[in-house]
Each structure stands twice: as structure tokens, then as C-alpha cells.
Amino acid sequence: MIKCENITKIYKNGETETAVLKKVSFEISDGEFVAIMGPSGSGKSTLMHILGCLDTPTSGAYTLDGQDVSKMSDDELADIRKDKIGFVFQSYNLLPRATAIRNVILPLIYIGENKEMREQKAKQALLDAGLAEDRWNYLSNQLSGGQMQRVAIARALVNNPIIILADEPTGNLDTKTGEIVLSTFQQLNKELGRTIVLITHELYVAEHAGRIIHIKDGGIIADEKNKERRIANHNI
């Protein structure tokens, strides 16, 4: 599914070069739930941008679903993002005056899906994300933070991507609501077999994944199975 080989990212500012990632290598298999954890400045955000095809490495190879995307053009990367990656961000990125279901339908409109099919897919994605049906026609700015994040998860699911990339998805939520959202990711992984990569700086968040890759100062310092996987037991 994902293979990173000696990924290096160097930023230049005049004569100064800063290596943000230093020969990072790892693989993620289909159906894994992996957390990439590190403190601020560790390089995890840069790595997330590369995994999400929002940026390319200075050197090294990144293979996604059998394709080397590390040298693709901006247009090719945009197609990869559209077809193969679902994004969930800390700030939700929903249209505030659109309903929950409309926010989920929009990506399908952009790719030309017919009306009947896009409504069917959006409803299934909202069900999979755990948003109660009585909230589907609420405007997104009428929803709680946890509900908005579940709409964002549904939007990420609706194109049936091969990977869900979640960047600090509980960062704007209180602990209890964050646990509910994390339980949604666990169910998507366990029950639907979704491949999920979660970026976080919090250990308690990373512990919900089945594997934790620890990154510090631009390099991987540990890559371990989470033997005591934290299971959230909240109703969604």
C-alpha cells in the first residue's frame, strides 16, 4: 500500500539548507491503522504532506498503491489525491452554510457523479462515519465539534479512497469527544478494513492505532506494534 524509501526533505533559504526529513523508510500494509507520532518540529507534518501527495521529497522514493508518486507533476498528484486519498483535518474544513449531507456530496459533484448515486454514496458514508440521520440536514455550523468531525470523516470516505489520512483530527475537541471520534476511526479500520494513517503529537491518541511510528528530529526513532491498543467504548 505505502512504501517510503529513504525519504529526505530539505528546505533552502538562500545559502541555508534545513533537512526536515532524513532518510525516512517504512511500509504500511493494506488494512493497517498506523499512528505517526512526534513533537512539534519533528518532521511529522512534512511527512504527512508527502504521504498526502501535497508535497514531494527532495530525494528518496514514495510508492502509493504500486505507483511511484515522488516524482509526479502537480496535476498527477492532484489526481492521486482525488482518487486515492481521503483527508481529515483538525479544523474540519466544512462549508458552514451547507448541510452535513451537502458537504459530503460536494466531492462527488466535482467528479461528475450522477445525482442518485452521489446521494446514495453520501448517505452510506455518513452512516459509516457514525453521524445520526437526524443531523444530516443540519447546517455544519449548527453541529457540535464531534459531529462536524464525523461529517469530515464521511467526506473523506465518500470517494472510496484507498487510504484515510487524518492530521491531528482530535486537536480541536475535548477529551471525551475526541475519544468518540477515535472510536469511529477504529470501527472504520476493524469493521470496514479501511487503511488509516493518523498524525498526532499525543500518545493517548496514537494508542488507539494498531501501530505507532515515532518520529523525532526528522528521523524514525521507533516503529512498534501497539500491544495495548486503547479501545474507545463510547456510543456514536
pLDDT digits (tens, 9 = 90+) for 99-151: 999 999 999 998 888 999 999 999 999 999 999 999 999 999 999 999 999 99
Residue 76 in any domain: the answer is: no
Residue 3 in any domain: the answer is: no
Q: Are 186 and 232 in contact (CB under 8 A)?
A: yes
Asked whether the CA dihedral 48, 49, 50, 54 is positive or negative, the reply is: positive
Residue 4 in any domain: the answer is: no
User: What is the pLDDT at residue 147?
Assistant: 96
The residues with which 13 forms a beta bridge, in sequence order, are 16
Residue 197 in any domain: the answer is: yes
Report how many domains make up the chain: 1
User: What is the pLDDT at residue 203?
Assistant: 93
**Strand pairing of 67-68 and 59-64?**
antiparallel
**What is the Cα–Cα distance from 76 to 124, expressed in whole angstroms?**
29
What spatial distance separates the first Cα and last Cα of the chain, rounded to whole Å? Answer: 29
Residue 72 in any domain: the answer is: no
pLDDT digits (tens, 9 = 90+) for 185-229: 999 999 999 999 999 999 999 999 999 999 999 999 999 998 765
Question: What is the average pLDDT score of the chain?
Answer: 93
**CATH number for the domain harbouring residue 45:** 3.40.50.300
Residue 162 in any domain: the answer is: yes
**What is the Cα–Cα distance from 40 to 38, expressed in whole angstroms?**
7
Residue 19 in any domain: the answer is: no
The residues with which 87 forms a beta bridge, in sequence order, are 165
Q: Which domain holds residue 165?
A: 30-54+87-225
Residue 201 in any domain: the answer is: yes
Asked whether the CA dihedral 109, 110, 113, 117 is positive or negative, the reply is: negative
